[in-house]
Amino acid sequence: MKVILGLLFTFSLSFLHAADTKAPEGIPASYPLKTCAVSGEAFGGEMGKPVKVTHEGTDLYLCCKSCLKDFKADPAKYVKMVKDAAAKK
């Protein structure tokens, strides 16, 4: 009985961990940021579907179209955020 409970507990923890690391809809699982680089807002919330932009070969995901203006003002800043986060992974 202890073995069965242990296995169930282990399975539950792995399932919960997988749920925590699942990428939001529209964001690849390999994307290093969990929030919008511009606003810090979570993806897929009230802001709607994330917006993908590419700058000098680096893909970035923004929480909404409203963040495009700030992104375009200083794209290198946000690309650096993505690259730094990717390097930490």
pLDDT band, very low/low/confident/very high, at 7 (cuts 50, 70, 90): very low
User: What's the rounded Cα separation, in Å, for the pair 57 and 53?
Assistant: 10
pTM for this structure? 0.71
3-state secondary structure of 61: strand
| Structural domain span for residue 44 | 2-88
Of 18-22, 29-33, 78-82, 83-87, which gets the smallest average pLDDT?
18-22
In this predicted structure, the answer to whether residue 46 has a pLDDT above a threshold of 90 is no
Look at residue 89 in the predicted model and tell me its pLDDT. Answer: 79
Whether the Cβ atoms of residue 47 and residue 75 lie closer than 8 Å to each other: no
3-state secondary structure of 21: helix
User: Residue 63's closest CA among 45, 85, 88?
Assistant: 45
Instruction: Specify the number of domains making up the chain.
Output: 1
